[in-house]
C-alpha cells in the first residue's frame, strides 16, 4: 500500500533490487516480502498483491510472537523464525538496524536447502540494512 509505505520511492526500488538478487542467488525461493513492523508490504517479489499483503501481515505477526516467546523464555531478542513443512519453508527475519523497523518474509519450495535459504536471507537483510541506511 503506497500510502502506508514509510520509505521513499528510491529506497523501495533499492529494496526491490535486493529481493531480486536474493531470488536469483538462492534456489527454491518462490516469494519474498519486505514488511513493516505493522504488517504492510514495502517491496515484494510476489505478483499477487493480495498474497503479498497477507504474507506481510502474517510475517509481522510471526515476528511479534517470536519476540514475545523469546522474552518470556528469558533469551535474547529473536532474530529469525523458521516454519518448515514437507513442501517448503517460510523464514521471517528482522532487518538489522532499520528505521523504521523492518522484516523480511521469504517463502521457498522443497527444492531449497534450509542452510542456503538462511544464508541468502541473512545476507539480503544485511544488504537491505546498508542500502536503506544510505538512502536515508
pLDDT tens, 61-105?
998 898 899 999 999 888 899 999 999 999 999 999 998 899 999
Which whole number is the average pLDDT over 103-123? 95
Range of the domain at 79: 2-135
Could you give the number of structural domains in the chain?
A: 1
pLDDT tens, 32-50?
999 999 999 999 998 888 9
Helix or strand or coil: residue 33? strand
CATH number of 116's domain: 3.30.450.30
pLDDT of residue 15: 94
Of 67, 64, 20, 9, nearest to 42 by C-alpha is 9
Residue 17 cell numbers, joined: 533490487
Amino acid at each position: 500500500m503506497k500510502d502506508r509505505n514509510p520509505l521513499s520511492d528510491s529506497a523501495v526500488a533499492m529494496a526491490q533490487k535486493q529481493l531480486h538478487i536474493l531470488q536469483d542467488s538462492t534456489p527454491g525461493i518462490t516469494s519474498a516480502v519486505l514488511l513493516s513492523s505493522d504488517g504492510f508490504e514495502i517491496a515484494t517479489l510476489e505478483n499477487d498483491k493480495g498474497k503479498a499483503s497477507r504474507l506481510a501481515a502474517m510475517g509481522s505477526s510471526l515476528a511479534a510472537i517470536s519476540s514475545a516467546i523469546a522474552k518470556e523464555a528469558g533469551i535474547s531478542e529473536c532474530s529469525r523464525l523458521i516454519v518448515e513443512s514437507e513442501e517448503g519453508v517460510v523464514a521471517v527475519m528482522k532487518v538489522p538496524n532499520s528505521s523504521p523497523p523492518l522484516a523480511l518474509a521469504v517463502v521457498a519450495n522443497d527444492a531449497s536447502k534450509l542452510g542456503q535459504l538462511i544464508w541468502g536471507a541473512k545476507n539480503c537483510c544485511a544488504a537491505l540494512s546498508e542500502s536503506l541506511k544510505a538512502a536515508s
